[in-house]
């Protein structure tokens, strides 16, 4: 799954980017766009402003340069939770998401018209997909399927394993715990990202560890890790928050 965001062809001509290029060269310019890529994939388009973590995630050899790009050129803003974000990126993605919604709505109406004109062999019209049909609505979240997503329950196949993870007496993920995972993870693994999502949604270290363990320490090529990222992307795209995040992620990942 690929996430997209606009990259204007004349971005390097903006005043802030020109200043960045003059002072930091194309190495700094590359760090800037790499940071935007991190933000694009992060929950709420925000990421930790800890320069050590950022330098590690980006494999950037110059920590001071990462710090300068992040803080010296007015390219990013910061919130009270120690996260940074790009006002330009959030504005651009707002327009992108709005256009995508319009296309989805047009597709939904077109599908409804096609269903209405389709006839079975007996000449009767096939049922038009209802407004509650989340699949027919191209994944648009409705009250019914949102409730179903939030009231997930263990299945016969995964119930015992799911309950055993949730029953572990474990503290919630903290920024310090996330930083520890980032600093010890190997190349090609993303335990730090799993911890970041768990931190954002208030999940415990036990849940984070269970997800990492079952995905070969969050190997970026492991099917379960990819499924985890797809779930995060779906939540972001459809703009809803799981009522019980640990239940939601475990139910989907262990099914």
Q: State the average pLDDT for the chain.
A: 77
The fraction of the chain above a pLDDT of 90, given in percent, is 25
51 and 148 in a single domain? The answer is no
48-94 residue pLDDT tens: 999 999 999 899 999 999 999 999 999 999 988 889 999 988 888 76
Residue 144: φ, ψ to 5°: -70, -55
The range of the structural domain enclosing residue 20 comes to 12-85
**pLDDT recorded at residue 138:** 36
Which of 12-26, 105-119, 237-251 shows the lowest mean pLDDT across its residues?
A: 105-119
pLDDT in tens, 182-214: 888 888 888 888 998 898 888 999 999 999 998
Is the pLDDT at 26 greater than 80, yes or no? yes
Contact (Cβ atoms closer than 8 angstroms) between residue 170 and residue 142: no
Please determine, for residue 45, whether its predicted confidence score (pLDDT) is greater than 80.
Answer: yes
Q: Taking the model in full, what pTM does it have?
A: 0.44
The verdict on 148 and 100 lying in the same domain is: no
Place of tokens 């005043």: 15
Q: Are residues 78 and 97 in the same domain?
A: no
Q: How many CB atoms lie within 10 A of CB 133?
A: 15
What confidence score (pLDDT) does residue 112 get?
A: 52
Q: Is residue 48 part of a domain?
A: yes
The count of domains in the chain is 3
- Residue 237 within a domain: yes
Query: Whose structure tokens read 């996260």?
Result: 83
Determine, yes or no, domain membership for 238: yes
Residue 126 confidence (pLDDT): 39
Q: Closest Cα partner for 179 from 28, 51, 21, 38?
A: 51
The predicted model gives 37-46 an average pLDDT of: 88
163 and 188 assigned to the same domain: yes
Question: Are both 163 and 201 inside the same structural domain?
Answer: yes
């Amino acid at each position: 799954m690929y996430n997209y965001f606009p990259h204007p062809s004349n971005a390097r001509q903006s005043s802030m980017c020109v200043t960045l290029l003059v002072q930091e060269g194309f190495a700094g310019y590359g760090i800037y766009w790499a940071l935007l890529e991190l933000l694009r994939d992060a929950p709420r388009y925000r990421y930790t402003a800890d320069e050590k973590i950022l330098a590690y995630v980006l494999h950037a050899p110059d920590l001071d340069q990462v710090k300068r790009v992040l803080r010296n050129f007015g390219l990013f803003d910061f919130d009270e939770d120690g996260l940074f974000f790009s006002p330009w990126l959030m504005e651009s993605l707002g327009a992108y998401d709005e256009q995508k919604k319009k296309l989805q709505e047009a597709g939904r109406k077109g599908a409804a018209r096609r269903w209405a004109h389709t006839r079975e062999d007996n000449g009767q019209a096939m049922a038009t997909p209802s407004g509650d049909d989340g699949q027919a609505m191209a994944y648009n979240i409705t009250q019914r399927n949102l409730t179903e997503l939030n009231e997930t329950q263990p299945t016969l196949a995964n119930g015992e394993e799911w309950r055993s993870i949730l029953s572990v007496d474990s503290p919630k993920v903290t920024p310090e715990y996330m930083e520890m995972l980032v600093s010890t993870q190997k190349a090609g693994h993303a335990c730090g990202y799993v911890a970041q999502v768990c931190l954002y949604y208030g999940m415990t270290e036990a849940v984070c560890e269970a997800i990492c363990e079952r995905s070969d320490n969050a190997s970026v090529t492991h099917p379960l890790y990819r499924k985890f990222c797809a779930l995060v992307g779906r939540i972001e795209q459809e703009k809803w928050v799981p009522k019980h995040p640990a239940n939601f992620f475990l139910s989907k990942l262990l099914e």
